[in-house]
Amino acid sequence: MKKLSVIHSNNYRNLFLEYGYDREELDTKLKESWEMLFQSDYPETQIYYSVSNNLGYMLDTGNNDVRTEGMSYGMMMAVQMDEKEIFDSIWNWSITYMYMDEGENAGYFAWSCATDGSKNAYGPAPDGEEYFALALFFASHRWGDGEGIYQYSKQAKDLLRTCIHKGEKHDGYPMWNPDNKLIKFVPSVEFSDPSYHLPHFYELFALWSYEEDRTFWQEAAEASRHYIAKAAHPITGLSPEYAFYDGTPNHIRGFGHFFSDSYRVACNIALDYEWFHDNACPVVVNEKLQAFFADKDPLDYRRYKIDGEPFEEKALHPVGLIATNAMASLSTSGENAKKCVDLFWNTPPVRTGKRRYYDNCLYFFSLLALSGNFKIWMPQQ
């Protein structure tokens, strides 16, 4: 059972103000952080690059490629910031170079491309598709639909239809398992990535997708909330990067531990709780997660087994982990919640260097969410 959601109240919490931070300083931090990621005046922190007046991409600086993860993230950031030109340039680049119109994965987007647009792979990553879809719905509702690829709502609905119906004509694989309604790591495998689970997105897909698909998305939201709870360790709250459908870690290629992908689980729980206050939202996972990190030195974050045992390997994206632990505070309370937000506030704005892309995406999403600016954009009346 849901309490009154922000869809009806349009009242988003601003944790920074609740914890006593200055509104003017917050507004400056948000504006400057956007500029540092999206403007060429800041080459040490920039992750968005304009190719022409209507083409631009988000660069994974650690791997020197363009990924659907980053492109869809950039679109979500742009629609939240009311930056239509940048939104359209990223979407145009995605359609021009990443979209696949033939072969087993026709209708999906190639998960990795070179900066010249050539495909590094011909397979998709479902976290990109789900972010593309909701960013497109929000764009439709905030700015209105245009023509062609800028008919945002149709693009979103068509993409979601492909994601769940592909394979019914033996033309490839769907991105969600049709029986258990859980998102796959990639369409051709039968296991998941807990950080891909976005029940708060699926709630909105259940409102705005093609009518015949809406029941699926409602069931997917319910299934994902339960899955997130199962995949997290019962004591530490840590989730593996890959997990089987029963929630147990999948250690293929060493991805059964708490590492970079896993950080996003805290964000997804937090935003789901902020948007819908569903009683099934596993906020206890975030409470345990913040308790686990309460006595950890941010300069010494590691890769961990989900039971909390540390590896020698340091965290590849420590700023991202600081950011996601802070965003978790939208669903928690008390000393640990405030401690995480304070640490985030006092972390230098955005990261420089080769590995800055993933950290800075998580940093900016957390900044949006904690300031009440990661919003649901409803259809225009």
- Give all domains of the chain, ordered by start, each with its CATH number: 1-44+223-380 (1.50.10.10), 47-171 (1.50.10.10)
- When pLDDT is averaged across residues 92-113 and rounded to a whole number, the result is 97
Residue 1 — very low, low, confident or very high, per pLDDT cuts 50/70/90? very low
Res 4: pLDDT: 57
What's the sign of the alpha-carbon dihedral 77, 82, 83, 85? positive
**Partners of 303 in beta bridges:** none
- Token pair for residue 128? 């990109």
State pTM to two decimals: 0.97
Q: By percentage, how much of the chain surpasses pLDDT 70?
A: 99
Q: State the number of CA atoms in the 13 A half-sphere of 97 facing the CB.
A: 26
Residue 220 one-letter amino acid: A
Contacts of 51 (CB under 8 A, 6+ apart): 57, 89, 93
- Token pair for residue 371? 């300031």
Question: Which amino acids are annotated catalytic?
Answer: 69, 261
- Residue 381 pLDDT > 70: no
Judged by average pLDDT, the poorest of 45-54, 131-140, 178-187, 259-268 is: 45-54
- Note the pLDDT tens digit of each residue in 341-372: 999 999 998 999 999 999 999 999 999 999 99
Environment class of residue 25 by beta-carbon count within 10 Å: exposed (0-12), middle (13-18) or buried (19+)?
exposed
What's the sign of the alpha-carbon dihedral 59, 65, 66, 68? negative
In three-state secondary structure terms, 152 is helix
- How high does pLDDT run on average in the chain? 97
Residue 203 — very low, low, confident or very high, per pLDDT cuts 50/70/90? very high
Q: Which residue has the tokens 């209105």?
A: 144
Res 2: pLDDT: 56
- When pLDDT is averaged across residues 28-33 and rounded to a whole number, the result is 98
